[in-house]
Amino acid sequence: MSEHLKRVFAEKKEQDQPAFVTFLTAGFPTRDATVPLMMALEAGGADIIELGVPFSDPIADGPTIQRANTIAIENNVHYSDCLEYVRQARKLGLKVPVIFMGYYNPLIAYGEELAVKDAREAGANGYIIVDLPPEEAIKFRNICQENSMSYVPLIAPSTSIDRVKFLTSIADSFIYVVSKMGVTGSSAGVAISASLPELVARIRAFTPVPLAVGFGVDNRTHFEFVTSAGSDAVVVGSKIIKLVLDNPDIEKASKEVEYFCREITLHGQNPPPLGRANGVAKNGTAKVEPVLPIPEGEVAKPELQVDQPGKLPSRFGLFGGAYVPESLVDCLSELEAAHAEAIKDPEFWKEFEDMFGYINRPSQLYYAERLTEEMGGAKIWLKREDLNHTGSHKINNAVGQILLAKRLGKTRIIAETGAGQHGVATATVCAKFGLQCDVYMGAEDVRRQELNVFRIKMLGGNVIPVTAGSQTLKDAVNEAMREWVTRLEDTHYLIGSAIGPHPFPTIVRDFQRVIGREIKSQMQEKAGKLPDAVVACVGGGSNAIGTFYDFIGDESVRLVGVEAGGHGVDTDLHSATLTKGVIGVVHGASSYIIQSKEGQLVPTHSISAGLDYNSVGPEHSHLKYTGRAEYIVADDTQALKAFKMVTQLEGIIPALESSHGLWGGMQLAKTLPKDKDVVICLSGNGAKDVAEVLLTLKDKKWADKLDWHVAQ
């Protein structure tokens, strides 16, 4: 089937014409619109159709294609429907090759081998998987090869020469060249990057494989510029989606799409030749004659292989990795190299420890005497991260990463936040170090955490509400990643939890492990022994991995993570990822995920904004998978009960996130003898949650349930 793609490029070369590659989101704007639109694309002159497989969290796409994805998912269109669209179009006589374009998780959910086999049988020709770089795609590429399906690599302006060599060596039909840094999107008034000819020439030096250039093409002027830059094909996507959005009537949309395709390609109008028949492009650049069929093989020549630096392990067993758009690959490598160098540099750690006075470290290990009495079992100790500057553990990571960003010469910091604690910590360190600060926060969390939003603004930060999706933490992560791609040269993404693509989970853990190190030495000092269990709440999992990490090798110490049970794990309204989730890929890493059977992220719920997340850090997934850590659940009611008990028995108002960990730790302490010790990470101060608890307790049902009538 990949032969069909090669044949298209060979024929276009023979005609001295560029190939025209079009993109359409399946199931958009209605379930029954896709096949007529595919036929219209072919009638207008499309040589190849990229059919977008809908995904709930398309991190590489701009607002237009995001909207198309959202509508398609609302129409309940998934990978199996995409197969059916291709079958129907082939029955109606569609001749052009069809490539599925999208994200990896829906394919994992369907089953990779079955997905490729069924695609071939349906009449598709290959895949462009935006967040599946070749390093992570060895298995998938092999499945494609066995089924004669094409795996199309992407090259971005940021791609290094070594990596260009590697990517060109594995291309089997063509290479998708991303013309600009950033997300998908077209604009009639914006010129294509002037450096495109240089980018195309750089890639062309290593391969005869055809190059298709996309991102930003809107009109015939753009089309001609891209072809004059030496491209063999032009990709148009967002413009077509906009046309369909503007013409919801399918018959009218089909006519508009066909007309646009004819207009941009001059299909049927005797378009001018490229002038490459003699092997030289119009701009005078020498052309390499494509050799067909393209030689097979994992890597064409040994000298073209990229040496993997292996600076830091990128996986935790099955989990982790870097499933990201090509434009982020080299930036993540730069970050990994900087962190690997920093953690070996005593001066860096001295700089970090010099900030302990600012952070208020070491945080206290406090014996909760009345809580222990109430539970009647093991001694309960609270690791008082709530007493840190800014009121939570988040400042540990924020300080570490800001020092790393300084080392990289970045002048702007972006971050995501759920409960607002990480946003506050980020704005705080940006104020201290004089850096610009933009914080992405789901609109629902902005409502729930009004006080923290105001604190961020007071500190000079800019809060950007995210109105896409469920308007919570996962959507803030998506938007921050999209923004990072557009400003890599001056911006550091200060991720707040142990999530995301490698090396972020390792970086965050390395700066949070100070919690567990201190617990170890403080318990030795206070009790002359290791704790019998350490307990922490788990959302993304940064406070928990910081608490657990230094105890992983101590088999006598139980590691207990407490997830958010929301309305109960027997309902759909919870955030208990490790308890109820399945293995998949989202936000750049393989981990456990709460998703639909089709691989789409679904809404989660927790009374605590900071635990309201669909996935979890990959190292936690590994600890669960291997059985080294145990993960339990506290629902909204139990968390509020713990909130009440700790407030009234110890005079400490805990964060709602921490209240989940407190409930789990308290229940564990009940079951253990009095000579045992349980340490609970009190990760955050509850001042930020008082308004939310007040609102909850004004509801008589909740006040009665908790027997707490202070708001009545």
Residues with catalytic annotation? 50, 61
CB 130 within 8 A of CB 103: yes
Give the C-alpha separation, 552 to 550, whole Å.
6
Grouping H, G, I as helix, E, B as strand and the rest as coil, residue 381 is: strand
Specify the DSSP element, H or E, that contains 536. Answer: strand 533-537
d(CA 371, CA 377): 10
Q: Hey, which bits of 61-143 come out as E strands? A: 98-102, 126-129
Burial classification of residue 142, based on how many CB atoms lie within 10 Å of its CB (0-12 exposed, 13-18 middle, 19 or more buried)? middle
Task: Please choose, from the candidates 306, 310, 371, 280, the residue with its C-alpha nearest in 3D space to the C-alpha of residue 16.
Answer: 280
- CA dist 479 and 622 (Å) reads 27
Phi, psi of 246 (to 5 degrees): -75, -15
Q: At what angle do helices 504-512 and 514-527 cross, to 10 degrees?
A: 30
Crossing angle for the helix pair 636-650 and 656-670, to the nearest 10 degrees? 80
Cα 178–501–491 angle (5° rounding)? 65
Cis peptide leading into residue 18 (ω within 30°): no
CB atoms within 10 A of CB 301: 9
At residue 202, the 3 state secondary structure works out as helix
Task: Give the CA dihedral 526, 530, 535, 539, nearest 10 degrees.
Answer: 110
Question: Would you list the DSSP string of 467-506?
Answer: -STTSSHHHHHHHHHHHHHHTTTTEEE---SS-SSTTHHH
Tokens representing 660 are 């989940």
Report the alpha-carbon distance of residue 299 to residue 289 in Å, rounded.
20
